[in-house]
A = this chain, B = another copy of it.
Amino acid sequence: MKIAISTGGGDAPGLNAVIRAVVLASIRRGWECWGIRDGFNGLLDPQQCTGEPVMRLDATSVYGIGALGGTILGSTNRADPLHYPVRQADGSVGEIDRTEELARLLRENGFDAVVSVGGDGSMAIAAALHDKGVRVVGVPKTIDNDLDHTFATFGFDTAVGFATECIDRLHSTGYSQHRVMVVEVMGRYAGWIALHAGMAGGAHAILIPEIPYELAAVAAAIRARDAAGHHHSLVVVAEGAEPVRGERTVLAGAETGRLERLGGVGARVEHELAGLTGKECRSVVLGHLLRGGSPSAFDRVVASRFGAAAVRALALGQGGVMVALGDGAIGTVPLSEVAGHTKTVPLDSDTLATARELGICLGDQA
């Protein structure tokens, strides 16, 4: 048996632990294990890759990598095989589906199966490969925690842990300077990181994509704290958080133009809260800091279990499935059921209820 492993999309802490587990569990069964560089680009576009586009992986290749962030294989979301960018006759850039070709290349390279690690996009590619006769097992990866069908995956815990550490730090400077500190974290469609890091870090307001926000409510919460003698406040904002319709009322005319030029939602919230409260506000964008770094113990263990479970699934003859964490145990889900489901924060979750009971403003008038 000869298998290939690929890591796609944005990187997340734990990818290397998955790779290590896949390699060690394969070797133990006498299989041969190879890594494809840069998602599937090592096969589709080998001349663009660093070093060997497809590399043999043995115990030495993965020695000690379980504790390292990133992925030794490289990871990219720039050239999705389902929507591969091509320059067209008229000079514009179009896209084509190259999964048929990818399936052929995998066969030509002698791969009996593929372990594809990635998010929603990678699972869609994996499903397409499965439809074209490739035996493939997916491993879910999403730092945002927004993949459905799995209780948890790796990367999220590390991101929440570091975001919490950053919030802890901003408390002390905010306190000393009587400021409102606004922290923007990842989370385009789901507010998991903002909610968990905000609760853990003792934030006073948390704005998530699931709840359109009114900054008037946040400003009222900040004023209430001021009145109680607490002159600093900490607001955590998910990058995908959006105001309720029609809220852009604070800044008019030329100012609106300036607002548009401000980067993300963090800068916008900082700017508007300064206007609404008259207080000094500062924003920090954690962004890339949350992707890197050594994975937390939790993420290393889950990633290892996923990698080993993927090999176990292949050993059992399975294909077309994604490994997933159920209530304490690893199982599998058909790839066909996975794609396109985003797991957002349920509005009736006890975590949201807890946030409110701790006195955290969620940007609505509740």
Residues of A bordering B, CB below 8 Å: 7, 10-11, 13, 15, 20-21, 24-25, 28, 38, 50-51, 64, 66-71, 74-76, 151, 157, 160-166, 168-178, 181, 196-197, 199-202, 229, 231, 261, 263, 282, 284-285, 287-289, 291-293, 296-298, 300-301, 304-305, 308-309, 311-312, 326-330, 349-351, 353-354, 357-359
Contacts and interface: CB of A to CB of B under 8 A. Distances in A.
B199 A50 contact: no
Contacts of A64: 171, 202
A349 B326 contact: no
Nearest to A179: B288
Contacts of A163: 297
A304 to B, nearest CB: 5
A196 B297 contact: yes
A292 B11 contact: no
A292 B172 contact: yes
A298 B11 contact: no
B171 A311 contact: no
10 contacts: A38-B178, A172-B293, A173-B288, A196-B297, A200-B298, A284-B289, A296-B296, A304-B354, A305-B351, A308-B357
Contacts of A70: 171-173, 175-176
Contacts of A292: 168-174
A298 B156 CA distance: 10
Please classify the interface of chain A as helix (H, G, I), strand (E, B), loop, or mixed, using the class held by over half of its residues: helix
B11 A176 contact: yes
B67 A168 contact: yes
B169 A289 contact: yes
Choose among A163, A175, A176, A231 the residue with the greatest number of B CB atoms under 10 Å from its CB: A176
B351 A199 contact: no
B197 A297 contact: yes
B357 A329 contact: no
Contact of A24 (B157, B171, B357): B357
Given A284-B288, A309-B354, A357-B21, A304 B28 contact: no
Contact of A160 (B178, B297, B358): B297
A314 to B, nearest CB: 12
Nearest to A11: B176
A327 B331 CA distance: 14
A144 to B, nearest CB: 15
